[in-house]
Amino acid sequence: MLDFAFSPRATADLTDVHVSFGDQAALAGVDVSITSGSVTVITGPNGAGKSTLLEVLGGTRAMTSGIRRVRGAVAFVPQRAAIPDGLPVSVRDVVSVGAWGRLGLWRRMDAAARELVETSMDRLEILSLAREPFSSLSGGQQQRTLLAQGLARDADLLLLDEPTTGLDASSALRIRAVLREEAARGVAVVCVSHDPAVIGDAEHTIPLVEGRVGEIASAG
């Protein structure tokens, strides 16, 4: 495998990445560089490999071949949660999981971590719901809770899968605002999205077609 020079401003670099599921190629020779302080949106038709690319960036999907280099902490915000309705977890419990990722499971949350959890909920306008069961929330409130969990990770690379799909206008607007705020803080934000508003907010887009990346464009 070739030696790879890491770009000084890059939070994540992928070089010649291939991912296959049996005989089916999900990604084929993908080269991507994600820089800090920007919003990048992965676009393309269904089946293009968008979610697979996001998972490779997050380290949750094994590559068939290629090189992945990531600098700093990573937070992955899924599209809704696979939390059983009967599980007795509050909004604060869910958001606090993000802080556990920073501290480690066996360390107690300190004052700084608790403050970060509270601030993350406040930024997503769910602080008043902190004691409510997560399962009782609307779809938009659940998605805001999951993003607050990602913020509590205090990550350098924030990954989101369709963060505004199917949400009410208020929730979608708040999520878009927070993503812009995170980029302004120096975080590298990467989303999979079909939402024209999210794409319009982005500095960069990565178009995928049949597992291959087209010309990486600057949005706007």
Distance between CA 219 and CA 195 in Å, rounded? 14
Instruction: Write out residues in the chain with pLDDT < 50, as ranges.
Output: 1-8
Contacts of 182 (CB under 8 A, 6+ apart): 151, 158, 189
pLDDT at 4: 37
Please state, in angstroms and as integers, the Cα–Cα distance from residue 215 to each residue in 149, 204, 209, following that order: 33, 11, 11
Q: What pLDDT is stored for residue 108 in this prediction?
A: 73
Q: Locate tokens 């799909």: which residue?
A: 165
Quick one: tokens of 132? 């409510």
Count the domains in the chain: 2
Position 7 scores a pLDDT of 45
What CATH number is attached to the domain comprising 36?
3.40.50.300
In a domain? residue 58: yes
Q: Is residue 1 part of a domain?
A: no
